[in-house]
Structure 1
Amino acid sequence: MSISDLHLVIAAAEAGATVVRSHYGSALTRIEKSAGDFATASDVEAEQAILEVLRAARPDDLMVGEESGRTGTGENGRAWLVDPLCGTLNYAVQTRLVSVNVALRVGSRVVVAASADPFAEEVFWTDGAGANVRCAGVDERLAPSAESRLVDVNLDAPSPYERTRLAARLLADVGFMERFHPRVVSTTLAVAWVAAGRRAAYVTYGDLRDSVHFAAGIALCQAAGCVVTGIDGQPLHTGVGGLVVAADEQTHAALLTLLRDQRQEEK
């Protein structure tokens, strides 16, 4: 019997999470990628485990891995986006804030996605129609909420330095501090937390189109009913880039105002 794409994406994320969990706390060789960026043996092995699950079931699909790049032809219009360990630096210094992200894009749309927390042993997943979290085999519907007022700001954004500097300025903005409680966890697990009601919002700069890091989290938030736009409030991937995902319209509007004010001050 053929496994469904939904069951496959969850199984793949769980396979990666198992590897990440098994290596935690051990001495890990760092594989330098670029200035300030590196992978570990856990990243590489987790990606191999994920790809083995996917290839066994979908040998004709394109695979796009953070560590191994593109494999397969993708002639059928199906592409799996794989981020085996988001939060590598956290993991390397034994901070348990990481995620394993897997998403399937068909054409221009992500149709299923999963983001696994290896240490809480939770898998946040979406079939495109709704968003859930699975823990100990039980699924619970995700419900966004801005009640916490916790807003995660990404300071490791895939963007030029000046954009990251604006994100840092936002954290010190008086208006931001009066309304929200800033957090910086340095992993896209925090994007899934917005869908789950554990964060009020998430903000990052950078070009996130087809990003193996963000595809799963964005799909989760969209399916959960969050407000999801680019950094200027535009539809995703149609403007300067970036991401503002918020639990509700009020939180989203407040963040857009604060971000606009920061850009004006920069000028």
Structure 2
Amino acid sequence: MPSLATMASSILPRSSLLPSRHLRSVRAFPSSFQSCLRFSLSRSACVASSSYSTVAADRSRVDISRESIDSLMEVVHAAAKRGAEVVMEAVDKPRNIDYKGKTDLVTDTDKRCELAILELVNSKCPDHLILGEEGGVSGDSSSPFLWCIDPLDGTTNFAHGYPSFAVSIGVLYKGRPLAASVVEFSGGPYCWITRTFTASAGGGAFCNGNKICVSNSDTIEKSLFVTGFGYEHDEPWSTNIELFKEFTDISRGVRRLGAAAVDMCHVALGIAEAYWEYRLKPWDMAAGVLMVEEAGGIVTRMDGGDFTVFDRSVLVSNGHLHDKLLKIIAPPSKLLIQKGFDFSRWYKPEGYALDF
């Protein structure tokens, strides 16, 4: 019996999952893929043209050749495409829904999508470490490469047929975002389409092969923002409700779409100026933050501190507005920390080493 991904590919239009222009054909995987992911030559090849956080600024220390990053990008893109094929096959069919919490959904599609992705990643990168939303940690904890996989970001939207969800895959190298692909689903029931975002350290950000950049808006009053709210209705949740109200009053509006990876890709694409949220997980952020940085934007924590994907708050912006946003967002975020709410790093796999 053919795999789910194979069956889905027969109904998924080829044009709906276009590769970034810096990717070669998936068929062109090197025969010895592991040997080409070695540390080499020029460190400057991986330096992002726009960097703000410590993670981005230290990317010059990621001593991997451009060729090796591009080879890794082939696998990342292929894995995201395979996951998207599984999701595409399921979008207009009945959902089998379970609950992680009172309102936190998981569907059989989340699980099947992650399994399809893992099958490919394990075959191409067997010595890498993996952190999946559904499957948890697997692989070699001594590896400097960590795959952060969200097989279906925006599960609640998917379950309702609301057009804002995605397959999101980001790969870290010693904790730094290195390669990413996000396949966004839009359209709606019986007219679903996708667009594919890709980014690599120092290689830029792309949407369906077209290089993208953040917007140039430098005033809050002329900007559109996006935020999100978690499932715990506690004080950080209430704090963000107040931020939502404040920015709604002083900007062109604040959207709540329900898929963090999509929200950050929209900032990278330049159709929104900023996005923030408390208590996201690494798989929610690993791909999106790299998209924003490589599109020319800025990433920090909501209290203004240097960001890693293991932190519990994130603010991404087009860069022009970042300091203005922090003047409003940072004080209540710092107050939460002073009150004792835990904003330490979390979900870092045991034994995984960070180089900063």
Do these two structures clear the TM 0.5 threshold for a shared fold by scoring above it?
yes
> How many aligned positions are there?
259
Residue 328 (structure 2) aligns with: 258
Match of 2:240 among 167, 173, 193: 167
Say if 1:36 and 1:146 are closer, same or farther in 2 by CA, change over 3 A.
farther
Q: What one-letter code is carried by the residue in structure 1 that aligns with 2:87?
A: V
Structure 2 contact 147–172 (Cα < 8 Å) conserved: yes
How far off its partner does 1:35 sit?
3.0
Structure 1 contact 20–118 (Cα < 8 Å) conserved: no
Residue 25 (structure 1) aligns with: 92
Structure 1 contact 31–38 (Cα < 8 Å) conserved: yes
Query: Does 2:141 align with 1:69?
Result: no
Q: After alignment, is 5-14 or 70-79 more displaced?
A: 70-79
Structure 1 contact 10–114 (Cα < 8 Å) conserved: yes
Query: Does 2:254 align with 1:182?
Result: yes
Residue 275 (structure 2) aligns with: 202
Residue 178 (structure 2) aligns with: 111
How far off its partner does 1:152 sit?
0.3
- Give the % identical residues: 25
Say if 1:263 and 1:8 are closer, same or farther in 2 by CA, change over 3 A.
closer
How far off its partner does 1:90 sit?
0.6
How far off its partner does 1:34 sit?
2.5
Please list the CA deviations of residues 56-95 of structure 1 after superposition, one character each: whole Å capped at 9, or x if unmatched. 1111111211111111123232221100001000110110
How far off its partner does 1:149 sit?
1.4
In our comparison, the structure showing a higher alpha carbon Rg is 2
Residue 196 (structure 2) aligns with: 123
How far off its partner does 1:118 sit?
3.3
Residue 94 (structure 1) aligns with: 161
Please list the CA deviations of residues 140-168 of structure 1 after superposition, one character each: whole Å capped at 9, or x if unmatched. 111100546110011127x7721111111
Say if 1:264 and 1:80 are closer, same or farther in 2 by CA, change over 3 A.
closer
Aligned mates of 2:213, 2:238 — CA distance in 1: 32
Larger % of strand: which?
A: 1
How far off its partner does 1:133 sit?
2.7
How far off its partner does 1:44 sit?
0.6
Please list the CA deviations of residues 182-225 of structure 1 after superposition, one character each: whole Å capped at 9, or x if unmatched. 100010201111111011100111265xx111110011111222
SS of the counterpart of 1:46?
A: helix
Residue 219 (structure 1) aligns with: 290
Aligned mates of 1:187, 1:224 — CA distance in 2: 19
* Ranges in structure 1 where 5+ consecutive residues have no aligned partner: none
TM-score normalized by structure 2?
Answer: 0.67
Match of 1:154 among 199, 222, 228: 228
TM-score normalized by structure 1?
Answer: 0.88
Structure 1 contact 145–197 (Cα < 8 Å) conserved: yes
Aligned mates of 1:65, 1:262 — CA distance in 2: 31
Structure 2 contact 302–333 (Cα < 8 Å) conserved: no
Say if 1:152 and 1:146 are closer, same or farther in 2 by CA, change over 3 A.
farther
Match of 2:303 among 232, 249, 261: 232
SS of the counterpart of 1:91?
A: helix
Q: What one-letter code is carried by the residue in structure 1 that aligns with 2:298?
A: V
Aligned mates of 1:263, 1:74 — CA distance in 2: 32
Say if 1:179 and 1:10 are closer, same or farther in 2 by CA, change over 3 A.
same
Aligned mates of 1:38, 1:171 — CA distance in 2: 24
Q: What one-letter code is carried by the residue in structure 2 that aligns with 1:184?
A: R
SS of the counterpart of 1:118?
A: strand
Match of 1:81 among 148, 159, 162: 148
* Ranges in structure 2 where 5+ consecutive residues have no aligned partner: 1-29, 34-70, 187-192, 340-356
Report the aligned-residue RMSD: 2.5
